[in-house]
Chains A and B, each alone.
Chain A
Amino acid sequence: MTIKKAGLWLAVLSCAAMASAESVTTLNGAGATFPYPIYSKWFDEYHKLKPDLQINYQSIGSGGGIRQITERTVDFGATDGPMADKQLFKVDGKLLHIPTVLGAVVPVYNIKGISGLKLGGDVLADVFLGKIKRWNDPALAKLNPDLELPDAPIAVVRRADGSGTTYCFVDYLSKVSPEWKKKVGLGTSVNWPAGLGGKGNEGVAGLVKQTPNSIGYVELIYAKQNDLEYASMRNKAGKFVKADLPSVSAAAAGAAKTMPKDYRVSITDAPGDGAYPISTFTWLLIYQNNSAGKGKLLKNFLRWMLKDGQGMAPNLGYAPLPDSVKKMVEGTIETIK
C-alpha cells in the first residue's frame, strides 16, 4: 500500500514539475551554420542570466532558416546572405534583418615552402574560373615578385555543399570579375567551373592541407585552427590586407556610411585602406510583429546581445559590429513588437 501511495505522490510531483517546466518560455530559431558557435554561446549565457527563458537554435543552413521563418514555424531565422526581394515578397508581414556579427572568408593555400602569398580579386576569380592553371602564371608572379612560385598545376578546392561561406566568396568574385558574374553568378551553391568539392569548411581545409599546390577558401577561424597559410587580398583601395578582426570591422565601418535601412548589404570589396575585402555580416531574421509577448522577449535578448554579447565574439573568431552600425541596430530593435 505504502509503495502505491508513494507512487501516487511521485506522479503528482512529476505533474507539478512538468507544469513548472511549462512556465519556462522557449523561443525557437533555425538557420545559418556559420554563426552557430557564437549563437549557441549567446543563448547559453542568456539562459544563465534569465533561467525562465530557453532559446533553441538549430543550425540547419541559411536556406532552411529562410524557409522556416517564411512559414512562421520558428520564432526567428538566421542567414549569412541577405534575402532577395523575390524571397521577401513571399513573406507575410514585415521581416527585419538584424546584423549580429561579422565573419571573413580567406583564400587558404598549400605550397611547400611558400608563405605570404598576395592575391588580387581578378586573379583569384581567374584561378577559380580555371583560367589560371599553374602557380608560375605571369599574373601570379606579378603580384608576388619576391616569391619563387613552383611550376606546378593549381589544385582548386571549393565547397561541395551549399553554404553562406560560398555566398560571401562568390559575392566578392562577382563584384571584382565581370566574367565570373556572367558565367557563374551568385548563390549558396553555384555551378563551379573548376576544382574539387569538399564538404563543409573542415572538408575544404582538409583537402587543402592534404593536396600539394592547392588553393581553397574557408572561414577565418578554420584557417587558424588548421594552421593553414592564407593569402592577403588587395582591397578596393589597392592595399594588401590580411584578414583579422580589425580589418573585418574596418570593412563594416567602410560600408556603414552607405548602410541601407533594412541592413541588406553586402560588404565584400568594401572601401577603406584597412578594409578586408571578403567579409560579411550575418543576420537574424525577425518579424516586426510577433505573437503573444514573444516580441518583448526577442527585444530584450537583442538589447543584451548588443550590449554584452558583442564582447564574446572576438574569442570565437567573429568581428563585433562597428559602433555606427550598433547605434542603427539599437533603433531598429525598438520597433519590434
Chain B
Amino acid sequence: MKPSSDGLESGAGPREQAGDRLFKLLLLGFGLFVVALALALACELAAKSLKIWKEFGFSFLWTSVWDPVAEQFGALPFIYGTLMSSALALAIAAPLGIGSAIFLAELAPRKISDICCFFIELLAAVPSVILGLMGIFILVPAVRSIEPTLTRFLGFLPFFRGEPYGVGLLTAGGILALMILPYITSITREVLLSVPRPLKEGMLALGATHWETVRRVSLPYARSGIAGAVFLSLGRALGETMAVTMVIGNVPRVSASLLDPAYSMASVIANELSEAVGDLHLEALIAMGLALLAITIVMNGLARLLIDQAVKKGERA
C-alpha cells in the first residue's frame, strides 16, 4: 500500500474491510460452486458409465455397431452425425448471419435495423420443438423435392447420393442453421455497432468505399466478437436434441452423403433412455452423454484459443 492511501483506508474503518473480505469469500464460493458443479457432473457421468469404459475402453468412441440386444455399443455414427450436422449448420448460418448483421449494422437505416433486430430476437426465442415441426412439414418435403435434382446434377460427388427420403443430414443441418442464425446475426450486429465511429469515419474520409470500410475496419475490429458468436451457436447446435431428432432420420450410420439419414448423440439419449431395460444399455447412453460433454468442452476450448489468437493478431495489427 502507498502511504498516501493509508489515510483513506483508516477512515473507512475496519468494519468495511471485514465486509469486503466476506464479500470476496462469498464470491469465491459462488465461483467455486460453478466449477464444482461442472466437475461433479462429469464425475457422476463417468461413475455411472464405468462398466462401458471397462468393457469397451476407448473403442466405444470409434466403433460403429449400436446393438442393444447383443449389448454391443459404439458411438462413432452418433459422434459423426452430431459433428456433421453442426458443421453443416455453421456453414449455412455463419455467412448468412454475418452478412445480414453487416447490412443491419452498417447499411440499413437505424429504424429498420432496430425493427429487424426485434424480429430476429423473436426468432431466437422459438422453442426447438416448434422448429422441428416446421422442419417436418416444410423443410422435409422441400428437401425431398429437390433431392432428385441434386443427385442428378451433383451425384458425381459422394455428398449427394442416395434415396430421396427428405430426412437426413442436410435437413438437420438446415433446421440447426435456422436455429442458430438469430444468435449469430444479433450478436454480430451488436459487436459491429460497438466499433468506434471515428475509425469508420476516418476511413471513409480517406476516400474508402463502404465495402472497404467494412472489410478493413469493422470486421477486423469485431473479429473476436464474431468468432464468439459463431462458437456460442456451435455449442447450441451440438447439444440440440428435439428438432434434430425430428428430421435427421435416426439411422446410426456413417455415410459421406448429406442426403442420407444419420443420428446424433443428443437424439439417441433422448430416444432410448426411457426404455433402456438392460443395465449396459443405460450405461452406454450415459457414456454417450459424457462423450457429448467432452466434445462440447473441447469445442469451447478450441473456440477460446481461436478468439485469443484473433485478439492478439488484432492488437498487433
A198 touches B275 (CB 8 A): no
B274 touches A162 (CB 8 A): yes
Contact status of A160 and B277, CB under 8 A, knowing A191-B67, A198-B250:
no
Q: How many residues of A contact B (CB 8 A)?
A: 35
Say whether B70 faces chain A, with CB atoms less than 8 Å apart. Answer: yes
B272 touches A189 (CB 8 A): yes
* List of A residues within 8 angstroms of B165 by Cβ: 155, 196, 211
B83 to chain A, nearest CB (A): 19
Chain B, residue nearest A160 (CB): B250
* Per-position binary interface string of chain B over residues 269-280, scored 1 when its CB falls under 8 Å from any chain A CB and 0 otherwise: 011101111100
Task: Enumerate B252-280 residues with CB–CB distance to A below 8 Å.
Answer: 261, 263, 267, 270-272, 274-278
B166 touches A211 (CB 8 A): yes
B163 touches A63 (CB 8 A): no
B249 touches A197 (CB 8 A): yes
* Per-position binary interface string of chain A over residues 135-175, scored 1 when its CB falls under 8 Å from any chain B CB and 0 otherwise: 00000000000000000010100001111100000000000
Q: How many residues of B contact A (CB 8 A)?
A: 33
Contact status of A161 and B274, CB under 8 A, knowing A196-B251, A210-B166:
yes
Complexed CA–CA distance, A164 and B274 (Å)? 11
* List of A residues within 8 angstroms of B249 by Cβ: 196-197
Pick the residue among B261, B274, B278, B281 that contacts A196 (CB under 8 A).
Answer: B261
Complexed CA–CA distance, A61 and B276 (Å)? 9
Pick the residue among B67, B144, B167, B276 that contacts A190 (CB under 8 A).
Answer: B67
Pick the residue among A153, A164, A199 that contacts B250 (CB under 8 A).
Answer: A199
* List of B residues within 8 angstroms of A61 by Cβ: 274-275
Complexed CA–CA distance, A60 and B166 (Å)? 30
Contact status of A199 and B246, CB under 8 A, knowing A161-B271, A190-B69, A191-B67:
yes
Say whether A206 faces chain B, with CB atoms less than 8 Å apart. Answer: yes
Say whether B78 faces chain A, with CB atoms less than 8 Å apart. Answer: no
A191 touches B70 (CB 8 A): yes
Say whether A305 faces chain B, with CB atoms less than 8 Å apart. Answer: no
Pick the residue among B140, B163, B267, B274 that contacts A153 (CB under 8 A).
Answer: B163
* List of B residues within 8 angstroms of A62 by Cβ: 275, 277
Say whether B85 faces chain A, with CB atoms less than 8 Å apart. Answer: no
Contact status of A66 and B250, CB under 8 A, knowing A191-B69, A211-B166:
no
Say whether A247 faces chain B, with CB atoms less than 8 Å apart. Answer: no
Interface segment among A180-188, A219-227, A249-257: the answer is A180-188
* List of B residues within 8 angstroms of A206 by Cβ: 136
Say whether A203 faces chain B, with CB atoms less than 8 Å apart. Answer: yes
Say whether B65 faces chain A, with CB atoms less than 8 Å apart. Answer: yes
* List of B residues within 8 angstroms of A207 by Cβ: 167
Complexed CA–CA distance, A161 and B272 (Å)? 5
Complexed CA–CA distance, A192 and B251 (Å)? 8
* List of A residues within 8 angstroms of B144 by Cβ: 211
B277 touches A188 (CB 8 A): yes
Say whether B235 faces chain A, with CB atoms less than 8 Å apart. Answer: no
Say whether B221 faces chain A, with CB atoms less than 8 Å apart. Answer: no
A191 touches B68 (CB 8 A): yes
Say whether A29 faces chain B, with CB atoms less than 8 Å apart. Answer: no
A-B CB contact pairs (8 Å), 19 listed: A61-B275, A63-B277, A153-B163, A160-B245, A161-B271, A161-B272, A162-B274, A162-B277, A186-B69, A187-B277, A189-B276, A191-B66, A196-B165, A197-B261, A197-B263, A199-B246, A199-B250, A210-B136, A211-B144
- Given pairs A184-B69, A190-B67, 18 additional interface contacts (CB within 8 A): A61-B275, A62-B275, A66-B277, A161-B270, A161-B272, A162-B276, A186-B69, A187-B278, A189-B276, A189-B281, A191-B65, A191-B66, A196-B165, A196-B167, A197-B251, A207-B167, A210-B140, A211-B166
Measured CB to CB, the residues of A under 8 A from B are 33, 60-64, 66, 81, 87, 153, 155, 160-164, 184-192, 195-199, 203, 206-207, 210-211
6 tightest A-B CB contacts, nearest first:
A197-B250, A162-B275, A61-B274, A160-B250, A191-B67, A185-B69
